[in-house]
């Protein structure tokens, strides 16, 4: 994971049935200023079948959400 100098960050891994519930809890408890998410970049039928976690989060989050798609180069620092 890329570290930004002077920018506090926290990474959380949560396993749950619902995506939004633990994200909402973390947003409220941790005073989050921004959410950064990786995405698969699915479209069309695959997006409909598998639903977009990123879309669910950025539609409901009360803070800015930055999504990073699969075409972003690896190794960027």
pLDDT tens for residues 3-52? Answer: 666 777 777 777 777 788 888 888 888 888 888 888 777 777 666 555 67
Q: Is the pTM of this model over 0.95?
A: no
- pLDDT attached to residue 64: 93
Q: How many domains does the chain have?
A: 1
50 belongs to a structural domain: yes
Alpha helices by DSSP H, the chain: 20-29, 44-50, 53-60
Inside any domain, residue 43: yes
Q: What is the pLDDT of residue 63?
A: 93
Residue 49 lies in a domain: yes
* Cα R_g (the chain), whole angstroms: 14
Task: Look at residue 32 and tell me if it is in a domain.
Answer: no
Specify if 8 maps to a domain.
no
Asked if residue 62 belongs to a domain, the reply is yes
Domain that holds residue 42: 38-77
Alpha-carbon distance 23 to 34, whole Å? 12
């Amino acid at each position: 994971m890329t570290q930004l100098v002077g920018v506090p960050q926290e990474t959380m891994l949560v396993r749950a049935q619902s995506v939004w519930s633990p994200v909402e809890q973390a947003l409220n408890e941790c005073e989050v200023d921004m959410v950064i998410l990786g995405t698969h970049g699915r479209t069309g039928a695959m997006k409909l079948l598998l639903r977009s976690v990123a879309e669910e989060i950025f539609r409901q989050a009360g803070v800015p959400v930055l999504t990073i798609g699969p075409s972003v180069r690896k190794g960027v620092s």
